[in-house]
Amino acid sequence: MTHVIGVDLGGTKTAAGVVAPSGEVLMSETIPTLNRAGGEAILDATAALIAGLVERAADAGISVSGVGVGSAGVIDAVAGTVVSATDAIHGWAGTALVAGLAARLSLPADAVRAVNDVHAHALGEAWLGAAAGSSSSLMVAFGTGVGGSLVLDGAPVLGHRFVGGHVGHFASPYAVFSGRPLACVCGGTGHVEAIASGPAIHEAYLRFGGSAVDAADTRGVFSLAATDAHDRGAGADSAGSRTAVVGSRAAAVRAIGVGAAAAGQAVGGLINILDPETVVISGGLADAGGLWWEPMEAALRQELLAPLASVPVVRATLGNAAAIVGAAQLVLKSVRN
């Protein structure tokens, strides 16, 4: 029976697991990504992680025949190279990802496959998660960034230059403040990611007058927004302090609402263009509860063309295992075919 290793290689951590043909993750391990050490050091560490899992599998009587990788960056899935990457991983662009791992693991090159990590995530959800059984699915992830993937008949649409899925980088009318478009991490301005990502919500909170003391990060913004303003201010030393907390809470509610509306409008527009059978929303913001989900879905539904009014919009279900399972599917599918 064929088993493979699925790898989720991100900017801060790399997770890998032994995946059965059924998609079950039998054993897994996680290491920090050496994101300041360069591509070769990352390949060394990733190969060691994989080799350790292969040994564990062998001890359990399980043979491993290949490796699938979902990696941060724009990944040329044919050549197996990293086309480009952000500064989150220094020296990653230009890395021979597939050839480098195959050589380190003494595997034939066709036994190792790679795609962008969001595509791997979407593949996992399309195979065994929230979109299982759908002929087409659109997954959009809202977290540190905004990314997505359209999966058709079990394969992600990668694009001619493998850039497909960068759904955070088109214009949003919400990504403006004081008449000026907001800067995006990609170097552009006015993009969806600049207003709808987790960090963007915290930045909006500060722009709207919230205090970093009351909410130091995005998680703090949600905590503040979900807490009764009077309770937050009950222990304050003065009326002025209580007023400041109330003002920060109002800024938190507003920032979340704007970010959620921008997210929903963007996904609704994508649905109008792509007409997927199922829509999956993933990422940390999707798990933040009704405070984000409800205005997001309301904005999404408002954007839809009439024939699309009943399109299913669901939360991702596989969690951290999604990209591991999806990356493994790259290899398992080739074995089945």
Residue 39 burial (10 A CB sphere; 0-12, 13-18, 19+): buried
Task: Report which DSSP code applies to 140.
Answer: E
Q: What pLDDT score was predicted for residue 230?
A: 45
Three-class HEC string of 267-300: HHHHHHHHCCCEEEEECCCCCCCHHHHHHHHHHH
**CA gap 309, 302 in Å, rounded:** 9
**Using one digit for the tens of pLDDT, what is the confidence trace for 193-206?**
999 999 999 999 99
Q: Is 132 helix (H, G, I), strand (E, B) or coil?
A: coil
Q: Is 301 helix (H, G, I), strand (E, B) or coil?
A: helix
Residue 148 burial (10 A CB sphere; 0-12, 13-18, 19+): buried
pLDDT band with cut points at 50, 70 and 90 for residue 108: very high
Cα–Cα nearest to 270, from 161, 182, 196: 196
Q: What pLDDT score was predicted for residue 333?
A: 84
With beta carbons less than 8 A apart as the criterion, state whether 280 and 137 touch: yes
**CA gap 274, 276 in Å, rounded:** 6
Q: What pLDDT score was predicted for residue 245?
A: 85
Class of domain 3-129+319-336: alpha beta
| Token duo for residue 6 | 């699925």
Q: Give CA separation, 15 vs 6, 57, 128, 139, 186, in Å.
A: 8, 16, 19, 21, 26
**CA gap 311, 300 in Å, rounded:** 11
Q: How far is CA 220 from the centre of its chain?
A: 20
Evaluate whether 3-129+319-336 and 139-315 have a shared fold. Answer: yes
With beta carbons less than 8 A apart as the criterion, state whether 113 and 331 touch: yes
**Using one digit for the tens of pLDDT, what is the confidence trace for 120-156?**
999 999 999 999 999 999 999 999 999 999 999 999 9
Least confident span in 6-20, 96-110, 229-243 = 229-243
Domain 139-315 has CATH 3.30.2130.10: no
**Using one digit for the tens of pLDDT, what is the confidence trace for 30-81?**
999 999 999 999 999 999 999 999 999 999 999 999 999 999 999 999 999 9
* CB neighbour list of residue 319: distance below 8 Å, 6 or more residues apart: none
Q: What pLDDT score was predicted for residue 13?
A: 96
**CA gap 193, 285 in Å, rounded:** 13
**CA gap 334, 141 in Å, rounded:** 26
Q: What pLDDT score was predicted for residue 244?
A: 73
Tell me the domain boundaries of the chain.
3-129+319-336, 139-315
Average pLDDT, the chain: 94
Per DSSP, helices labelled H in 72-228 are: 97-105, 117-127, 193-196, 198-207, 218-226
With beta carbons less than 8 A apart as the criterion, state whether 54 and 88 touch: no
Q: What pLDDT score was predicted for residue 218?
A: 97
| pLDDT value at 278 more than 70 | yes
**CA gap 169, 141 in Å, rounded:** 13
With beta carbons less than 8 A apart as the criterion, state whether 14 and 8 touch: yes
Measured from the Cβ of residue 232, the count of other Cβ atoms closer than 10 Å reads 17
Whole-model pTM?
A: 0.92
Q: How far is CA 204 from the centre of its chain?
A: 21
